[in-house]
Amino acid sequence: MPIQVFMNAAVATVDQSGTEYRSGYIVVRDGVIATLGEGRAPQIPDAEMIDGRGCLATPGLVNTHHHMNQWITRGHSQDGTLFQWLTTLYPLWAAIDGELEFASASAALGMLALTGCTTTMDHHYVFPRGGGDVLAAEVAAAARIGLRFHPTRGSMDLGASSGGLPPDSVVEDIDTILGACADAVDTHHDPAFDSRCRIALAPCSPFSVTGDLMRRSAELARELGVRLHTHLAETVDEEDFCLAHFGARPADYVESLGWLGEDVWLAHCVHLSDGDITKFAASGTSVAHCPSSNGRLGAGIAPIPELLAAGVPVGLGVDGVASNEHGGLGTELRGALLAARLRLGPQALTARQCLQMATMGGARCLGRDRELGSLEVGKLADIALWDLTGLGHADIDDPVCALVFGPPAPLRRLLVGGQTVVSAGELRTADAGALATHARAAARSLRERAGY
């Protein structure tokens, strides 16, 4: 791999001091940041010189919550609440298999790359009988597109006949789930510094899993040394469900099951009390904030300024693309900013706080903050070079403001470990048009299978 030198670019390192360079450089050697700074770039023989004039270099964005199987189920239940939306889509998801999952995940990953994402998780929790190895299919899709991938082996064991929300056809028994979780870690998990794939365990939600599964999943994850993830406190309906079935609000319920800690990150967390926030901060529990999905489903606005003020690590997430039909991560920075300000006014959240959540905050959620999330010597060269020379950005003097406040910015270059994934605004690891064609065919096939 040749040495790469980014030059003449504004640089937002998102390091602990918030270091920024008005016109700086970054040198990448063997997929790692070798040096960076203000001013003229060093001249290195045979290096690839990447001109960043008019651009902003940031760490690659980190997506902390997603459901990639949903790419081929977009546009359904356009006006439903979360529970209405779920009951509409469960029959579709129950018909997915490995082939359809590969097409869906490939499209989802392609869009993430085109919007500046270099590391993403996926929360996959529907494993239809006879559907093949859908987890392996999305791992293959991530390798195809070239992003770092943190797929979670999700699960549901509380079907409708037992008082849960999902139909019985999409739930599994606990022994099957725990065995599959252990197999997923053994097959796919790579704990190395430059890992491209790490597994976490992720029972779906309080209204689709039993307390026994939650407790035993936490025990298994800690035995295997992997992280834990679930949905929590997304809607008022969920809170009502938890109170009716468990006699506790969502955060109190999961705390009783061993689900607060530095190895846990929780999606949404819209409906939290001050006491919940205090518990998260004290335990080191992280939050994945999904502003577009929360808005699309009318779930509410998460208390992100309060979480950040308390010291809770917060990352950004796209969430399932059936509840965020855009599917890109770059737009979530602006969405987070606007949502917080709608709730608390113009000083609720800054552009730089949004960038921090999308990078270092996300890295902390995934347990990768020593490896990525900021531009620092020795960290992985996961770098987004945003082109701010166009009509939508060129006259904004502050490049971070331009990125967050402005329209979606194209990428002049996106590197993952020094490897080019996007260049001149185009995906280089796969044909975006072919991804769209395959996804369209997969969506049609899935609807036919499900009788839609």
In the chain the domains, ranked by start, together with CATH numbers, are 4-59+380-427 (2.30.40.10), 61-365 (3.20.20.140)
- Rounded to two decimals, the pTM is 0.97
pLDDT, mean of residues 268-291: 98
The predicted-structure confidence for 330-362, as pLDDT tens digits, reads as follows 999 999 999 999 999 999 999 999 999 999 999
155, 135 Cβ separation under 8 angstroms: no
The predicted-structure confidence for 59-95, as pLDDT tens digits, reads as follows 999 999 999 999 999 999 999 999 999 999 999 999 9
Helix, strand and coil content of the chain, in percent to the nearest 5, comes to 40, 20, 40
Q: What is the pLDDT of residue 168?
A: 87
CB atoms within 10 A of CB 173: 10
Q: What is the pLDDT of residue 406?
A: 98
Is pLDDT at 169 greater than 90 in this prediction?
A: no
Residue 145 structure tokens: 């597109």
Confidence of residue 160 (pLDDT cuts 50, 70, 90): confident
pLDDT, mean of residues 434-445: 98
CA–CA–CA angle 122, 200, 355 (5° rounding): 55
Q: What is the pLDDT of residue 189?
A: 98
Characterize 376-413 residue by residue with b for buried, 16 or more Cβ atoms within 10 angstroms of its Cβ, and e for exposed: eeebbbbbbbbbbeeeebeeeeebbebbbbbebbbbbb
Characterize 213-222 residue by residue with b for buried, 16 or more Cβ atoms within 10 angstroms of its Cβ, and e for exposed: bbebbbebbe
| Residue 384 Ramachandran class (φ > 0 left, ψ -120 to 50 alpha, else beta) | beta
**DSSP at 386:** E
